[in-house]
Homo-oligomer: A and B are copies of this chain.
Amino acid sequence: MYSVAEENYIKGIYHLQQKARSVSTNALAKHMNTKAASVTDMLKKLQTKKLLDYEPYYGVRLSSSGIKLALSIVRRHRLWEYFLVNSIGFGWEEVHEIAEQLEHVQHPALIEKLDIFLGRPAFDPHGDPIPDIDGKMANVHYVSLTEVEPGKQVVFAAVGLQTADLMNMLQHKGLKLGDKLKVAERFDFDQSLEVLINNKKKATLSFKLGRMILVKKPEV
């Protein structure tokens, strides 16, 4: 098992790596709120554990096992955030710090059981995709219907949540994967949407529902 400090470094490198190919000691030190000397020490340690490829003076990249670990930490973090907001009523602005602690709780079955309890959500409360147990996550080229410009045609590509509640509701509204959707109206008052389904049926969707409808641009 890895220490909390080690896990935090791996997660930090993972996030910085999304922007640039390789991560510098200084950038990581700033991101981790620590000093460059401390970063160097930790990189040498994580190098021996084969979690990353570290070239002194030339920055660091996660190895494949480092990426795997990072994705598992990100998974834990985002599932706990989802729980904090959608189960016990925190606002999405307060959950990050709590999830930073919860993500380090170690148990072989905990996260899988939490995932099932939550309905295997695909996105956390901030809209970030939640990696599955194999590290796969929703293609972030999807956007939720709430972010689509009125008038534009899009295709219903995925749901952001797999609860019976949501499924029943989608069925009731006559919505299924592959449907062509056009936002006819967006009301500022409650951010609800009026959509045209397959250029035929009209339906009114709440903001909360719209967020769980993930869409992509139609194939040309």
Q: Which A residues are closer than 8 A to B by beta carbons?
A: 84, 87-90, 94, 97-98, 101-102, 104-107, 109-110, 113-114, 116-117
Contact = CB atoms under 8 A, between A and B. Distances in A.
A110 B87 contact: no
Given A102-B105, A105-B102, A113 B97 contact: no
Given A88-B116, A114-B88, A101 B105 contact: yes
Interface centre among A88, A98, A106, A117, by most B CB within 10 Å?
A: A88
Contact of A97 (B87, B94, B107, B116): B107
Contacts of A87: 117
Given A88-B113, A98-B105, A101-B105, 20 more contacts: A84-B110, A87-B117, A88-B114, A88-B116, A88-B117, A89-B113, A89-B116, A89-B117, A90-B109, A90-B113, A94-B109, A97-B107, A98-B107, A98-B110, A101-B104, A101-B106, A101-B107, A102-B102, A102-B105, A105-B105
> Which 10 pairs show the lowest CB-CB distances between chains A and B?
A88-B117, A88-B113, A101-B105, A98-B107, A88-B114, A89-B113, A102-B105, A98-B110, A87-B117, A90-B113
Contacts of A110: 84, 98
A111 to B, nearest CB: 10
A98 to B, nearest CB: 5
A103 to B, nearest CB: 10
A89 B87 CA distance: 15
Contacts of A117: 87-89
A89 B117 CA distance: 8
A123 to B, nearest CB: 20
Contacts of A116: 88-89
A185 B4 CA distance: 52
Contacts of A98: 105, 107, 110
A190 to B, nearest CB: 25
Contacts of A113: 88-90
